[in-house]
C-alpha cells in the first residue's frame, strides 16, 4: 500500500502505537456538504469578576464555604467529587447466579480524591490569553499538586474541559485533578504499550516517536529547545495534538525550572493558535499523562493530550457517533492537513515565544 497516496487521496487505517487502537482516515469525506448541527457563537464573559460565579475569589460556593481571596492559582477539594476516600463500593449486591455469572457481573471499589484548580482570579482569563508569567504559575500549581497526590494515589489525572461544547459547567478558568487508587483503562493501555516497546527496542516509545516525527516534519506544529507539539500520526479528533518534552521525564513534577518556563511559552503558542484557527475561544479537553505511582518509571514518557472538537468552523463540531461508536474511530481531515492548518494559525496568533 502506498501510504502517501492513501493519506492524501483515499481511505486508510492508522494504528496508535501508544495504546494499540486503530483509526480510519477518510480524506474524501472532508468535501461533503454539511447540514447537521451547528452551535451559535456565544460571546465569552469579559468581566474580571462575576458575583454569581462559584469559583471567583471570595464568593460562596454551593456548600456554603467561601473561596479564598486568591490572587494566584489556587486549588481546593471538589465539593461534588466523582471519587471519595472511602473504599466502600456503595452497593449492596446480591450474589450473581447462573452460568459464568461471576465473570459477567464484576465490580470493585473505586476511591480517590478530586481537586479543582482555579487558574486565575480573573473570571475571563483563560490559559490562551494569559501572559507567560501567569502560565508559569499554573504550571507550578500542576507540579505541586502532582508531587503531593502521587505519593498516595496510583494514578493522578490532571485535566481541563474548556467551553460549554466540552461540558464545562463553569466558565471561570479552571482545571481538575482526579487522583485514584487504581490504573484507569486508558492509562493501562498506554502503560502496557510503552512497557512492551522498551522490552522490544530497549528505548522509550515516545522519545523514539518524537525523533521520528521531527525527522519527517509534516505533522509538527510547534517546537523549542525543551518541548515539541505535533498532530499525532494516529490522531482521532480533527485538530488533536500531543505535547512532548524532549528529555525523558516520567512525572510532571520532574520538570526543572527551565522546562517549566519553556512549557509556559509552548502552551501560550499552542492555545492561541487554537483560538486563531476558527477565530473563536476554542473548546477542548486536555490532560497530562504521567507515570503511574510514586516510583520512577524507565519506560513511561510524560505527555499531554489536547482534544478540541471543532471540525470545520467555530459552529461545527466532530461527533463520535455511528461507525465511531459501533466499530472504530474515524476522521476526515488527515493529521498532516490539520498540522498545516495549526502552523498557519500559530504564525498569526501573536504568541510570545521566548525560547
| Residue 157 neighbours by CB under 8 Å, 6+ apart | 177, 178, 179, 180, 184, 187, 287, 288, 289
Exposure string of 194-231, with b = 16+ CB inside 10 Å and e = fewer, is beebbeeeeebbbeebbeebeeeeebbbbbbebbbbbb
What confidence tens digit (pLDDT) does each residue in 105-156 have?
Answer: 888 889 999 999 999 999 999 999 999 999 999 999 999 999 999 999 999 9
Distance CA 212, CA 85 (A): 43
pLDDT tens for the 355 residues of the chain, in order: 333 434 456 899 999 999 999 999 988 766 666 445 566 555 666 789 999 999 999 999 999 999 999 999 999 999 999 888 765 555 556 676 677 778 888 888 899 999 999 999 999 999 999 999 999 999 999 999 999 999 999 999 999 999 888 888 899 999 999 999 999 999 999 999 999 999 999 999 999 999 999 999 999 999 999 999 999 999 999 999 999 999 999 999 999 999 999 999 999 999 999 999 999 999 999 999 999 999 999 999 999 999 999 998 888 888 888 999 999 999 999 999 999 999 999 998 765 554 3
pTM, entire model: 0.91
Which sign does the torsion angle of CA 330, 336, 341, 345 carry? Answer: positive
Distance CA 176, CA 202 (A): 35
Q: Where are the domains of the chain?
A: 185-347
Which set of grid coordinates corresponds to residue 63?
456548600
Q: Is 49 within 8 Å of 171 (Cβ atoms)?
A: no
Strand stretches in the chain, DSSP E: 12-15, 22-25, 74-77, 112-118, 155-162, 174-180, 220-223, 227-230, 241-245, 284-289, 303-307, 310-313, 316-317, 329-331
Q: What is the CATH number of domain 185-347?
A: 3.30.428.10
Q: Which of 174, 251, 289, 303 is catalytic?
A: 174
Q: Is 242 within 8 Å of 230 (Cβ atoms)?
A: yes
Q: Is 174 a catalytic residue?
A: yes
Amino acid at each position: 500500500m502506498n501510504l502517501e497516496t492513501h493519506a492524501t487521496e483515499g481511505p486508510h487505517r492508522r494504528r496508535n502505537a501508544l495504546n494499540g487502537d486503530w483509526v480510519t482516515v477518510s480524506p474524501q469525506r472532508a468535501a461533503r456538504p454539511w447540514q447537521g448541527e451547528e452551535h451559535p457563537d456565544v460571546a465569552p464573559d469579559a468581566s474580571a469578576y462575576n458575583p454569581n460565579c462559584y469559583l471567583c475569589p471570595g464568593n460562596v460556593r454551593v456548600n456554603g464555604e467561601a473561596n479564598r481571596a486568591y490572587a494566584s492559582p489556587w486549588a481546593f477539594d471538589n465539593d461534588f467529587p466523582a471519587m471519595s476516600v472511602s473504599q466502600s463500593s456503595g452497593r449492596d449486591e446480591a450474589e450473581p447466579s447462573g452460568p459464568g455469572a461471576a465473570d459477567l457481573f464484576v465490580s470493585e471499589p473505586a476511591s480517590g480524591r478530586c481537586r479543582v484548580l482555579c487558574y486565575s482570579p480573573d473570571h475571563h482569563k483563560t490559559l490562551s490569553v494569559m501572559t507567560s508569567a501567569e502560565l508559569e504559575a499554573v504550571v507550578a500549581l500542576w507540579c505541586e499538586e502532582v508531587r503531593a497526590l502521587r505519593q498516595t494515589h496510583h494514578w493522578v489525572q490532571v485535566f481541563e474541559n474548556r467551553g460549554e461544547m466540552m461540558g464545562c459547567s463553569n466558565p471561570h478558568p479552571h482545571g481538575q485533578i482526579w487522583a485514584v487508587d487504581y490504573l484507569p483503562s486508558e492509562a493501562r493501555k498506554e502503560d502496557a504499550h510503552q512497557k512492551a516497546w522498551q522490552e522490544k527496542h530497549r528505548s522509550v516509545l515516545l522519545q523514539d516517536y518524537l525523533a521520528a516525527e521531527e525527522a519527517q516534519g509534516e505533522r509538527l506544529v510547534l517546537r523549542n529547545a525543551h518541548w515539541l507539539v505535533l498532530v499525532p500520526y494516529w490522531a482521532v479528533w480533527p485538530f488533536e495534538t500531543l505535547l512532548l518534552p524532549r528529555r525523558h521525564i516520567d512525572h510532571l513534577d520532574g520538570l526543572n525550572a527551565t522546562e517549566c518556563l519553556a512549557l509556559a511559552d509552548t502552551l501560550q503558542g499552542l492555545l492561541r493558535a487554537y483560538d486563531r484557527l476558527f477565530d473563536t475561544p476554542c473548546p477542548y479537553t486536555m490532560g497530562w499523562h504521567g507515570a503511574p505511582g510514586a516510583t520512577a518509571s524507565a519506560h513511561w514518557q510524560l505527555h499531554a493530550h489536547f482534544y478540541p472538537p471543532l471540525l470545520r468552523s467555530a459552529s461545527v463540531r466532530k461527533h463520535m457517533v455511528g461507525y465511531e461508536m459501533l466499530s472504530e474511530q474515524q476522521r476526515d481531515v488527515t493529521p498532516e492537513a490539520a498540522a498545516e492548518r495549526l502552523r498557519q494559525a500559530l504564525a498569526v496568533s501573536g504568541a510570545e515565544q521566548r525560547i
